[in-house]
Structure 1
């Protein structure tokens, strides 16, 4: 009997121990389920956006850039020179120096044009899975930026912020935002609509063909009719003018009055740089009442000129696109040397043409051109027509001599 009792007790102990383990496991499982239910009830389902939610912010992409352009990474504060594969993420800063400009593509298909001496910051560039809703937010810290939006679906946001205003950009809108060193700002709307508000909540809506300024205290002016850019007429772009017996030439610069708005006077600049850096300006004339100015005693070389109008209210138009003319001698028949020519495929039909030549030589490829700097190395980004196998590279020196080279586009793709 004693042996049976011990077996019974032993068997009972074994059964109960297993039951205890099972009970503990079930209790833990119930506790976990209860905690999960409480979390979902209080904070919502953390997995509800899996497969359908917003993607991590994608990088904005450079369409093109030229001159001195820099990117400051938000995460590391590292300053880099952008390349063809550089992406911009929230918090990143783009800076253009006096010789730089850049075009950037955003998540909603809009395009930013960052003009020389400007600083912008990408605050947001998000898009959901199907691309129907996007959120773009860019800050213009200094200088000038032009934005162009395309057709946008419901729920899309495109915001441009300045130190004194916040602006919601409508679809199919073209507008520029200027932040001046003296603390004033300007908003020009060429097409579409912009809803703008200052820091104290004053709001106004600008439509195509309208302009406002913002004073240093943040007050938005009354809307004005936008003063259009005066169009240059003479000399024609890339026109060549030969020097006289005295070794120099005079050239008459002519332009048309703005098609919209009334100009009180004009300002004309002539420079040896397409970016009109201070050290390269040859002529600066302001308060011109007529639509013509003669630049005299120009020595052989490559020149650029531009003009802008100012209304009686003080509103200034944008600058006209720089036009180029060449003051040349009759030439000596010498060959213009170009070496180390190479074409780097950036993607699609976009190529980066590199090479070397004498400083001051003009290099022209596929409708684009550049001036060889003092170090002799040049690069030029072009878009070739579909199926193009090779392009002409034209070189013109300051003496008027010209040579043409053929360059194959069977190039390696650039590093990504």
Structure 2
């Protein structure tokens, strides 16, 4: 009688169940995969990389919405005088004050559809943000720093006003303008890049139009002229990588274009922070009469630099957009070596040459090439009637070595 041998499996016995070991492993893998999937999804949602359907945050009537923010941004409530650190659920009401730190900035959507950008180191009070009888009233007051405002289409009964020093500045429809408090000169500055602004000081009104600059001081417009652009940066170019010297340092020559049509002085800053916070400032120079600056002994890392100009008329330009560059440590190129040379004479001037070197490098002899294997070994067959040949070894970085190999005894002659 033929016996059929039962397949041999390793089994776990749990009461009256008999479970294959492979089944247990499959269950463990399935639960681990499920836990990993759920955990990854929760992390993506928690970090905001992935959003799930949810209701919009309900805002109080006449509240301004903080669309985005970065760094240290706080709201001081007029009702309680308490300071709140801004989150994704924070809103702003009339009377509230927005404060940004050295690395803080915020984008705020007002009730009339206009956008208010609060720059670093700024303080701005929301005086009004209301809608009544088909019109809107938006009024903000700049205390320190800088804000940028962009308006959209407006009705005849709508008003969007920015208070700067002694001036009341009404932005007309489809206008882009920036307002700044110049701490150095104690003046308010108005820059119009598009549209128009109606400026009122002591009951006297002035219309500022596209590409105009005005300074407000001592209750009057102290200067009004064509808006000057920031200086154009030349070098080092943005995103450039610069190799350090053998000591791990680099001397960088910064250059920018001269301000056209004006005698000017320049302010220069280089920092390890794109916000140019004091703790990250590497060098800061003011009142330069030249358009270049050399900064020595910079160590490997990421740097940001920018320039602004002060014209002979007194107008101070905006800072140029920061350019970023990186200093990387220069790696010393080590000579490539090879050992265990062997030369086999196959006759008729044909030789088989082998040795060991760095894996992946290119070996070249008399125009013939091969690559070193993962263990560094290589073999190449050549034809020569000379007693010695030159061997070249090159890696992907351009580092190379040359050897003079004797075909008679397989020794390196140099």
Give the TM-score band, short-chain normalised.
0.5 to 0.7
| Partners of 2:236 and 2:254 within 8 A in 1 | yes
Distance 2:251 2:76 in 1: 45
Q: 1:291 and 2:271 equivalent?
A: no
What residue number does 1:364 align with? none
What residue number does 1:111 align with? 115
What residue number does 1:227 align with? 228
SS of equivalent to 1:279: helix
Written as runs of structure 1 = structure 2, the 5 A alignment for 1:85-96 is 85-96=89-100
Q: Deviations over 1:34-85 (max 9, x none)?
A: xxxxxxxxxxxxxxxxxxxxx9742211222111111111111111111112
Distance 1:159 1:119 in 2: 16
Instruction: Report the TM-score when normalising by structure 2.
Output: 0.62
Written as runs of structure 1 = structure 2, the 5 A alignment for 1:342-353 is none
Q: What's the offset of the Cα at 1:196?
A: 0.8
Equivalent residue in structure 1 for 2:191, among 188, 193, 203: 188
| Partners of 2:147 and 2:179 within 8 A in 1 | yes
Q: What's the offset of the Cα at 1:331?
A: 7.3
Q: 1:71 and 2:72 equivalent?
A: no
Q: What's the offset of the Cα at 1:233?
A: 3.3
What residue number does 1:170 align with? 172
SS of equivalent to 1:224: strand
Q: What's the offset of the Cα at 1:258?
A: 4.8
Distance 1:157 1:84 in 2: 28
Q: 1:156 and 2:175 equivalent?
A: no
Q: What's the offset of the Cα at 1:257?
A: 4.2
Written as runs of structure 1 = structure 2, the 5 A alignment for 1:252-401 is 252-258=253-259, 262-330=262-330
| Partners of 1:56 and 1:126 within 8 A in 2 | no
| Partners of 1:302 and 1:326 within 8 A in 2 | yes
Decide whether aligned partners of structure 1 residues 115 and 101 sit closer, same or farther in structure 2, where only a CA change above 3 A counts: same
Distance 1:171 1:331 in 2: 57
What residue number does 1:387 align with? none
Distance 2:258 2:66 in 1: 34
What residue number does 1:142 align with? 144
Written as runs of structure 1 = structure 2, the 5 A alignment for 1:195-214 is 195-198=198-201, 200-214=202-216
Q: What's the offset of the Cα at 1:246?
A: 2.1
Distance 1:114 1:188 in 2: 15
Distance 1:266 1:188 in 2: 19
5+ long unaligned stretches in structure 1? 1-54, 333-416
| Partners of 2:246 and 2:330 within 8 A in 1 | no
What residue number does 2:247 align with? 246
Decide whether aligned partners of structure 1 residues 167 and 269 sit closer, same or farther in structure 2, where only a CA change above 3 A counts: same
Written as runs of structure 1 = structure 2, the 5 A alignment for 1:5-84 is 57-84=61-88
Size of the aligned set, in residue pairs, is 273
Q: Deviations over 1:82-123 (max 9, x none)?
A: 111211111111001122111111111211111111100111
Distance 1:187 1:195 in 2: 11
Decide whether aligned partners of structure 1 residues 263 and 192 sit closer, same or farther in structure 2, where only a CA change above 3 A counts: farther
Distance 2:234 2:153 in 1: 34
Distance 2:165 2:156 in 1: 28
Q: Deviations over 1:155-182 (max 9, x none)?
A: 2210111231111001111111112346
Distance 1:237 1:81 in 2: 33
| Partners of 1:227 and 1:262 within 8 A in 2 | no
The structure number with the bigger radius of gyration is 2
Distance 1:59 1:75 in 2: 14
What residue number does 1:388 align with? none
Distance 1:223 1:64 in 2: 33
Q: Deviations over 1:303-349 (max 9, x none)?
A: 111111111011110111222211121479xxxxxxxxxxxxxxxxx
Instruction: Report the TM-score when normalising by structure 1.
Output: 0.61
| Partners of 1:227 and 1:263 within 8 A in 2 | no
Q: CA RMSD in A?
A: 2.3
Written as runs of structure 1 = structure 2, the 5 A alignment for 1:117-128 is 117-128=121-132
Q: 1:102 and 2:103 equivalent?
A: no
Distance 1:99 1:219 in 2: 33
